[in-house]
Chains A and B, each alone.
Chain A
Amino acid sequence: MDIRPILFPLSGLLAALALLMEIPALFDYFVHNSEWEAFQVSALITFFAAIALYIGRDRNMSHFSLRHGYLFTVSCWILLPLFAALPFFWSTQDMSYTDSVFETISGLTTTGATVMSGLEYMPPGILLWRGLLQWVGGIGIVVMAISIFPVLKTGGMQLFQLESSETAGKVFPRIQDVASGVFAIYSGLTVLCGLIYFIAGMSAFDAVVHAMTTLSTGGFSNTDMSFAAFPDKAIIWTGSLFMLLGSLPFSLMLYSLRRKSRWVLFADRQVQIYLLFLFFTCFFCATMFHIIMKNEDFFYSLTLATFNVISVVTTTGYAFEDYTLWGAFAPVLFFFLTFVGGCSGSTAGGIKMFRFHVMWLSFQKQFGHLIFPKGVFVQKINGKPLHNDISQSVLIYLTLLIFSFAVLATALSFTGLDMVTALSGAATSLSNVGPGLGEIIGPAGNFKTLPDSAKWILDIGMILGRLEYVTVVVLLQVSFWRF
């Protein structure tokens, strides 16, 4: 297989990454922080790498096939973190390359697991870089989910293919179209979120970085205590609202804006089920928390529960309270919530609501056939018939998820992690949530103390989860490389 067609788009992305590094470099330069040199050197090296790829490119983009689509998608998420980690590696924080890559992959995949402690004392450029990584990662994920995954037909995403005539050849014009629309909405919401954070009492710098990591459902914070450092109720509710918005389908937001049909977002079955699920889970957790912690103020219990539930379900991973202290029910419930995820076409990871919906309809159909063997059952999602290939894709996605989870958890346990840490570590990396369970990687913990081998395994998990398994596994097929 000729890989040259993917070199041109890859070189473009690397050049964009080098440009992005200039933002924290300039920021650190103007606040007289020596860290700007690390960003500058990293930007130069990344730019040279972009030029090298550009030289080796295939000039004819019509050679870009569906298989190149898979290869390009996976290559992006492997290559970009290797370069984006350089500023961490060369910063005065003296991080090892393993830690630097972990922090970067966690940022770009919007996972939010961190190996850094003492964030309050970090140079502002480093904190800004973490925020930017998540913000850019967020856009990348939405664009990928709306324009690439449906064409590649991964995990049932063909359900969201807007035009039936789409082929891989149309991917790039479509990416440009979608990216500009999503960029406008995403930027607008980020600015709005930052403004409200600022008005609610955050400093301007904290408001900017937290707005970027909220909309991207990433979860990096400027303090070790995450949102526990901002206990104001207005900030907490703002965080909850914008995490929720980040986990709703941007494609539908784009559609509503372009067609001027405001309610199309809430008429979507996936969104309806998602909001109902969140409402009941938040209310249940608030009640349990209220009873167990003997808290007198129910509104405060609701605030806490809503923030923590939305943070985990949207796969953001901000922490406000150590929910593992909320009695025996909480760790089990939050472990399962780790897998849920937001809506398709959003920045959230996890299984995502539409797949639960597809599974439910498939169950209904299957049981219908058992009861009425000659019956004809037509299942629909948002008025569109649910074809067998979508159910099959979702089934394959879930099988790969379970298989990946088992392999990752076993591999983590081989590195010496206890059962809770290994299981929740595998779950949190595959779902791109952030904090896991247990003393080491729980909401009050840090990934810093994990052995290097465990960090590399989690890196694989984060990329695998972000690329929704199928995209990566297809590259492991011998036939993929044969012709």
Chain B
Amino acid sequence: MRRSIVCLALLCFCILSFHANAEEKKSFWAKSSDVIVIDGDTLFVQGKVVQLTGIDAPEIGQQCDHNGHLWSCGMTAALDLHKSLAMARLSQLHCWVNGKTSVWVSATCYVEEKDLAAAMLGAGTVEIDRVGSPYYRSLMQSAKEGDFGLWGSTFEQPDKWAEKARFSEDKSACIVKAGKTKKGKKVFTTPLMPTYKKFKATRMFCSDEDALLADYVPLIKMSK
């Protein structure tokens, strides 16, 4: 009888530790103040590039046309994301991983109970991507009906904009700086990253995704 109880306890312990490991793999935590915003839908957290699942933000240099006035909709989305994190310095960012590629992790991220992607969809600063969930779709629909943010403006689809498609008035340039460090590492930086001002680019990309796919990695600190 005693042996059976010991065996059962061991079995429970194995199941629980396996479950805990699985949980750890599925999600990760970080201090909000340690997170760096790359653009409106991309973060740099604990050495990982994290794409927010289900949304697509205008590219960081992209402009949109609101009643004949161009506004930096890409920068606005990135700044909104940055503000959400900056105003929650005592909170933890909790990301649930939904998928992985060789260059980024796709995840749904929360600050306390606030879903960052959902907040931006509701404000109309981003749109859903091809696999956006029904919940996200309904949030975008509400923003669309109210003409919030992007939806009160004319804009190119971010992927097309990155391929240099522009409406006639839009003269915006690609502003993702890329180049090599002294050690020959291929790096890129965007305006909200701390290295942007000092870094001398040898190449410009229209989107962080393009830079990542060309094997460039985010430059977080300048080498001395």
Given A118-B79, A444-B84, A444-B88, the answer on whether A94 and B70 have CB atoms closer than 8 Å is yes
CB pair A452–B152 under 8 Å, yes or no, is: yes
Chain B stretch 144-158: residues in CB contact (< 8 A) with chain A: 145-149, 152
Query: CA–CA, A221 to B144, complex, Å?
Result: 30
Nearest-neighbour CB distance to chain A for B51, whole angstroms, equals: 20
Contact mask for chain A residues 442-479; partner B; CB cutoff 8 A; 1 contact, 0 none: 01111011111010000000000000000000000000
Q: B76 — which chain A residues lie within 8 A by C-beta? A: 117-118, 446, 448-449
CB pair A231–B82 under 8 Å, yes or no, is: no
Q: Which of A10-18, A175-183, A414-422 lies at the interface? A: A414-422
**How many interface residues does chain B have, given as a range?**
35 or more
Chain B stretch 74-106: residues in CB contact (< 8 A) with chain A: 75-76, 79-80, 82-84, 86-91
CB pair A224–B147 under 8 Å, yes or no, is: no
Q: Does B183 contact A (CB under 8 A)?
A: no
Nearest-neighbour CB distance to chain B for A137, whole angstroms, equals: 25
Q: Does B29 contact A (CB under 8 A)?
A: no
Given A94-B71, A95-B69, the answer on whether A417 and B146 have CB atoms closer than 8 Å is yes
CB pair A451–B84 under 8 Å, yes or no, is: no
Q: Does B114 contact A (CB under 8 A)?
A: yes
Q: B84 — which chain A residues lie within 8 A by C-beta? A: 322, 444
Q: A448 — which chain B residues lie within 8 A by C-beta? A: 71, 76, 149
CB pair A96–B90 under 8 Å, yes or no, is: no
CB pair A94–B69 under 8 Å, yes or no, is: yes
Contact of B87 among A96, A117, A322, A416 (CB under 8 A): A322
Chain B stretch 47-74: residues in CB contact (< 8 A) with chain A: 66-72
Query: CA–CA, A454 to B123, complex, Å?
Result: 13
CB pair B88–A416 under 8 Å, yes or no, is: no
CB pair A321–B147 under 8 Å, yes or no, is: no
Q: B91 — which chain A residues lie within 8 A by C-beta? A: 293, 325
Q: Does A433 contact B (CB under 8 A)?
A: no
Contact mask for chain A residues 251-277; partner B; CB cutoff 8 A; 1 contact, 0 none: 000000000000000000000000000
CB pair A451–B146 under 8 Å, yes or no, is: yes
Q: B83 — which chain A residues lie within 8 A by C-beta? A: 117, 224-225, 444-446
For A120, the closest partner residue in chain B by CB is B79
Q: Does B122 contact A (CB under 8 A)?
A: yes
Query: CA–CA, A448 to B149, complex, Å?
Result: 7
Given A439-B114, A444-B88, A449-B124, the answer on whether A117 and B146 have CB atoms closer than 8 Å is no
Q: A203 — which chain B residues lie within 8 A by C-beta? A: none
Q: Does B175 contact A (CB under 8 A)?
A: no
Q: B174 — which chain A residues lie within 8 A by C-beta? A: none
Q: B75 — which chain A residues lie within 8 A by C-beta? A: 117-118
CB pair A440–B142 under 8 Å, yes or no, is: no
Most chain-B Cβ atoms within 10 A of its Cβ — which of A96, A322, A418?
Answer: A322
Q: A321 — which chain B residues lie within 8 A by C-beta? A: 87-90
CB pair A440–B152 under 8 Å, yes or no, is: no
CB pair B88–A325 under 8 Å, yes or no, is: yes
Q: Does A379 contact B (CB under 8 A)?
A: no
Q: Does A75 contact B (CB under 8 A)?
A: no
CB pair A449–B148 under 8 Å, yes or no, is: yes
Taking Cβ atoms with an 8 Å cutoff, the residues of B that contact A are 66-72, 75-76, 79-80, 82-84, 86-91, 111-114, 118-120, 122-125, 142, 145-149, 152
**30 contacts across the A-B interface (CB closer than 8 A):** A94-B70, A117-B80, A118-B72, A118-B75, A118-B79, A224-B79, A224-B82, A225-B83, A225-B86, A229-B86, A295-B90, A321-B87, A322-B87, A322-B111, A325-B111, A325-B113, A325-B114, A416-B142, A416-B148, A417-B146, A418-B142, A438-B122, A439-B120, A440-B122, A445-B80, A448-B149, A449-B125, A450-B148, A451-B147, A451-B148
Besides A322-B111, A450-B148, A452-B67, 20 other CB < 8 A contacts?
Answer: A94-B70, A94-B71, A96-B69, A118-B76, A225-B87, A322-B87, A322-B88, A325-B88, A325-B91, A325-B114, A439-B118, A440-B123, A440-B148, A444-B83, A444-B88, A446-B123, A449-B149, A451-B152, A452-B147, A452-B152
